[in-house]
Amino acid sequence: MVYHARYLDFFERARADWLRQLGFESSKLVRDFGVILVVRKLVLNYHYPARLDDEVEICVDAVEVRRAQLTLTQSIRRNGLMLTDASLNLASIHAGDFVPVRFPESLKEALHHYV
The structure's pTM equals 0.90
For residue 59, tell me if it sits in a domain: yes
Residue-level pLDDT at 1: 92
Cβ density class 57-79: b for 16+ within 10 Å, e for less: ebebebeebeebbbbbebbbbee
**Dist CA 54 CA 63 (whole Å):** 28
The terminus-to-terminus CA distance of the chain in angstroms comes to: 33
Angle at 6 between CA 34 and CA 76, to 5 degrees: 90
Task: Render pLDDT for 50-68 as a digit per residue (tens, 0 to 9).
Answer: 999 999 999 999 889 999 9
4-49 per-position pLDDT tens digit:
999 999 999 999 999 999 999 999 999 999 999 999 999 999 999 9
State which residues form the domain around 108.
6-112
pLDDT of residue 111: 85
Report if residue 28 sits inside a domain.
yes
Residue 1 lies in a domain: no
Q: Tell me the pLDDT band of 90, cut-offs 50, 70 and 90.
A: very high
- The per-residue pLDDT for 114 is 74
pLDDT for the residue 78? 97
pLDDT at 113: 78
Number of domains into which the chain is organized:
1
Average pLDDT over residues 93-108: 95
CATH number at residue 17: 3.10.129.10
